[in-house]
Structure 1
Amino acid sequence: MKKKHFLLGFLLSIFSTTYADVVTSIRPLGFIAAAITDGVTNVKILLPDGISPHDYFLKPSDLIKIKTADLFIWVGSDLETFLKKPLSQLPNHKRVSLIEDQAIKKLLLKNTNHNHVIDNNLPDKNRKNIFHYHSHAEYNMHIWLSPCIARIIANIIHHRLVILYPKYKKYFDKNLRYFEEQITKTDENLNKMLQTIKYKRYFVFHDAYSYFEKRYSLASLGYFIINPNIHPGAKKLHKIRTTLIQEKAICVFAEPQFRPAIIQAVIKDTNVHMGTLDPLGGGIELNKDSYVEFLAKLSNQFKNCLDKN
């Protein structure tokens, strides 16, 4: 036991000067953090690029990153369940669970818990067919896909950084103003750009996009699964295929984190196209404009597929 403690202490002493002051669990949170820390300190992301937070297992190097971070930012245990235990060992002033913030709680969207929902009293653009086995949380945890919530996250990070590094307050203030200006401008541009696809129907691979869809009034028919670790059976897939044809869906969106074989089988011999959406922003470099670049890239992924006839 003493040997283990000595080894951990030795590793911490080696890595403490090389790992970042601010660490985020997933890449999109890193985008927001990088905007606020720009020019002051570095940001590191715990999960490797292209890895889903739904099924990640921590490595020893991850534990060192967590322990040496001045500030660790995550969504919360309903999404990143693997972080609950290691983060409970960090003092409160060194961790931020975004889902516990009251301003964010007010904006959370509930997951739908029906096997098959078609509301014929709603306009076509609001009709949804929901197919899934079970919910892994009462609320949808993909909060970074809301530009409105991203603003709140930026303010939370700003507040915590000012406490940590008070002598850099004027830089954090400037960075926050810039981030909010860019969000406003980008949000307006995307709202205009996505007008042409507002009523075009589609399915997504899993229930990650509710916040984005709500903000830009997109006409999702539903999703294959709510938990990417549990795949739908043949009966569910047949229902989805039938709905795609009946509702004249244009696209089904896969994700780079998961194999698209299921989707390819469902759309075979139909006129439905397959697109790809990346809710984690893979390949986007960390800088002050990363988050707005992420929103623009996701919007283009929607538009490129849904503009097809």
Structure 2
Amino acid sequence: MSVKHHGVRFYHRRRGVSAWLLSGADLSCWFSSEEKELRYFSLLLGFCLSLPVAAIQVTVTIPPLAGMIQPYLTDEDELVVLLEPGASPHGFQFRPSHLVALQHADLLLTLGNSVDTWIEKPLKQRLSEAQAAGQAIRVIAMQKLPGLVVFPRSTRQQRHLSNQSVTDEQDHHEHEHEHEQEALDPHIWLSIANARLMVSAIAAQLTRLQPDRATEIAAITQQLQADYQRLDQQMTDWLAPVRQQPYLLLHDGYQYFEQAYGLQHLGVVQVSDELKPSIKQVLALRKIIQSTGARCVFKEPQFSDRQLHYIIQGLAVEVGELDPLGQGQLDYRQLMRQMAQAVVQCLQPSPK
């Protein structure tokens, strides 16, 4: 399987030969007798005739969706991730290479919410073109899946540094991202329970696209479901010792993760990177951070934290990093595992 960002291959995985060797055909006695030779030849012929499966191209909007579908794909399939590793989906601009990936996609995975709202217009155009040409493109908009848990947007207190003063407010402010204006929290993939539903939907569409692989796809699904369930329990155990440890965020995007594991999120500190804070502003924000008793402030690689270290200098608070999108990580299980480990590392009490 090849994986591409903007049409550039950066990852490759092989498994075809090993899968054939594990098929159960024992060729060690190939020439032991005419009868066995004929029987093995018939078996091999039937097996080979079933081998050709039309390769597909899967296009996904964000890396976590790639991490869910990647275990299903063969060497011949192609996976295109529209959002580059480390990039923010906010302000994403479509390029000609993105349109090419959309035109060649047999299956498109989207969240179907404001995180990847930038796909809506080109997708609508692509679906219209495909219909006119008698072509088919399958689309899974994850947020529309039956049974998916979707939370209202958090109304927890947000504290941010503006060019006038440090203010406390319950809802919107001038530096909120576009998706923070909607009523629902779009970070649906940060729930393993939701991810299990997404994997089932992916498997159903892949089975329709590649019916000759139905048995293999079902086996992979069963393994992934077991892996996700086991990981969920492991993360519950890992995070249990730090549940009562308070922390702050630079971006309120972890409600699904926090509710699943009972974490004590105190609020969001929004710090503008476009201005240098005055001494009065720094002191006010430092007072806010101290008053919460936060042990850690979590940043994200997709958003700037240039002012954060200056503001918290000398405070008894750690800086951790959470990456909800994954830095090119093509395994959803690893993405979630790394998030749990980052939380534990920053929140665990220091040895006395």
Bin the TM-score by the shorter chain. 0.7 to 0.9
| Corresponding residue of 2:147 | 103
**Aligned residue among 184, 199, 214 for 2:229:** 184
Which is greater in Rg? 2
Aligned equivalent of 1:46: 82
Quote the residue 1:29 is aligned against.
65
**TM-score of the superposition, structure 2-length normalised?**
0.70
* Identity level (%): 26
Contact 2:207 2:213 in 1 (8 A): yes
Alignment deviations for residues 63-84 of structure 1 (CA, whole Å, 9 cap, x no partner): 1001111011011242212111
2:107 aligned to which of 71, 85, 89: 71
1:58 matches 2:94: yes
Aligned residues: 275
**In 2, Cα distance between the equivalents of 1:181 and 1:293?**
15
Deviation string 1:99-154 (CA, Å, 9 cap, x unpaired) is: 122322xx11111346669xxxxxxxxxxx96751523211111111000000110
Q: Secondary structure of the equivalent of 1:44?
A: strand
8 Å CA contact retained: 1:131, 1:236: no
Tell me the amino acid that sits aligned with residue 96 of structure 1. Answer: I
Higher deviation after alignment, 95-104 or 35-44: 35-44
SS in 1 for 2:108: strand
Which has the larger displacement, 75-84 or 92-101?
92-101
Q: How far apart are 1:97 and its partner, in Å?
A: 1.3
Unaligned runs of 5+ residues in structure 1 are 1-11, 13-18, 118-128
Say which SS state the counterpart of residue 250 (structure 2) adopts. strand
Aligned-partner residue type, residue 112 of structure 1 = S
Paired residue secondary structure (1:90): helix
1:303 maps to a residue whose letter is V
Aligned counterpart for 1:300 among listed residues 341, 344, 348: 341
Task: Look up the SS of the partner of 2:181 in the other structure.
Answer: coil
Greater CA deviation, 69-78 or 262-271? 262-271
For 2:296 and 2:108, the matched residues in 1 are separated by: 37
Per-residue CA deviation, residues 280-300 of structure 1 (Å, 9 max, x unaligned), is: 11142x3xxx11111111111
1:237-276 map, 5 Å: 241-276=286-321
Counterpart code for 1:292 = R
Secondary structure at the aligned position of 1:178 is classed as helix
Would you say the 8 A contact 2:113–2:186 is kept in 1? no
Q: 1:46 to 1:132 in 2, by over 3 A?
A: same
Partner of residue 118 from structure 2, selected from 82, 86, 96: 82
Contact 1:73 1:97 in 2 (8 A): yes
Equivalent position SS for 2:112: coil
User: In structure 2, do the counterparts of structure 1 residues 245 and 115 end up closer, same or farther at CA, with 3 Å as the change threshold?
Assistant: closer
Q: Which runs of 5+ in 2 are unaligned?
A: 1-6, 8-54, 128-135, 160-168
Instruction: Decide whether aligned partners of structure 1 residues 174 and 267 sit closer, same or farther in structure 2, where only a CA change above 3 A counts.
Output: same
The one-character-per-residue Cα deviations of 1:207-257 (angstroms, maximum 9, x if unpaired) are 11110111111111122359x9999x9899766533321121111011111
| Kept in 2: contact 1:33–1:154 (CA 8 A) | yes
**Worse-matched range after superposition: 33-42 or 175-184:** 33-42
Which has the larger share of strand? Answer: 2
| TM-score where L is the length of structure 1 | 0.80
What is the DSSP-based 3-state SS (H/G/I as helix, E as strand, rest coil) of the residue aligned with 1:50?
coil
Q: Does residue 172 of structure 1 match 2:217?
A: yes
Residue 245 of structure 2 is aligned to residue 204 of structure 1: no
1:159 deviates by: 1.0
Question: Cα RMSD between the aligned structures?
Answer: 3.1
